[in-house]
C-alpha cells in the first residue's frame, strides 16, 4: 500500500483504517472546521504523532521513489476508499509516472487529515489539531 501513510509500528492502525474507510476529505475538513476537538470523528492519536515524528516515520512511498522497488517484481496497492475517482486517478498517474510535486494530502490517505499542506522533504511534519502524549509504538 504505497500511499497509506501510517506511522511505522502504530498501535492505532487497525482502528484508524476502519474509521477512514468512508470518511472523505470534504467530511474531514467539515469535521475540523465545525466540531470541537473532543467531538471530531477522526481523532486517533497517531495523526498528531506525525506532528512530532514527521512523514518520514510513515510507511508511504513517494511516487518518485517507486522505481527503487521494481527489482522486487511487486504488486502495488493504491489505497483511498475515501478518495474521489479523480483523486484516485491522480494518485495512480503519479505512481505510474514516478513523479509528483505538490501537496501530498492529494495522494496519501492519512496525510489528508493535516490542516496545512504536506510537502515532501526529510523534515516535513503534518499539522493535526490534536496533541496526545501517548507512545504510539507497539509493545515488544
The structural domains of the chain, with segments of one domain joined by +, span 13-113
**Ramachandran region, residue 114 (left: φ > 0; alpha: ψ -120 to 50; beta: rest):** beta
The pTM score is 0.68
What angle, 0 to 180 degrees and rounded to 10, lies between the N-to-C axes of helices 13-20 and 45-53? Answer: 110
User: Looking at residue 89, what is its pLDDT?
Assistant: 94
Q: Could you tell me the three cell numbers for 15?
A: 482502528
Give the three-state DSSP class for 65.
helix
- Summarised one tens digit per residue, pLDDT across range 53-78 is 778 888 889 999 999 988 888 888 99
The b/e string for 37-74 (b: 16+ C-beta within 10 A; e otherwise) is eeeeebbbbbbbbbbebbbebbbbbbbeebeeeeeeee
Q: With a cut of 50, list the residues of the chain below it in pLDDT.
A: 128-140
User: Looking at residue 36, what is its pLDDT?
Assistant: 67
Amino acid at each position: 500500500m504505497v500511499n497509506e501513510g501510517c506511522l511505522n509500528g502504530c498501535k492505532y492502525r487497525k482502528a484508524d483504517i476502519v474509521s477512514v474507510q468512508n470518511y472523505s476529505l470534504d467530511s474531514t475538513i467539515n469535521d475540523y472546521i465545525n466540531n470541537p476537538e473532543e467531538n471530531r470523528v477522526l481523532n486517533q492519536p497517531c495523526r498528531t504523532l506525525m506532528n512530532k515524528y514527521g512523514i518520514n516515520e510513515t510507511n508511504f512511498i513517494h511516487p518518485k521513489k517507486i522505481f527503487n522497488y521494481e527489482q522486487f517484481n511487486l504488486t502495488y496497492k493504491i489505497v483511498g476508499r475515501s478518495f474521489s475517482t479523480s483523486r484516485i486517478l491522480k494518485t495512480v498517474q503519479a505512481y505510474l509516472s514516478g513523479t509528483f510535486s505538490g501537496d501530498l494530502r492529494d495522494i496519501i490517505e492519512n496525510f489528508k487529515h493535516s490542516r496545512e499542506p504536506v510537502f515532501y522533504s526529510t523534515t516535513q511534519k503534518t499539522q493535526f489539531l490534536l496533541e496526545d502524549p501517548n507512545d504510539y509504538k507497539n509493545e515488544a
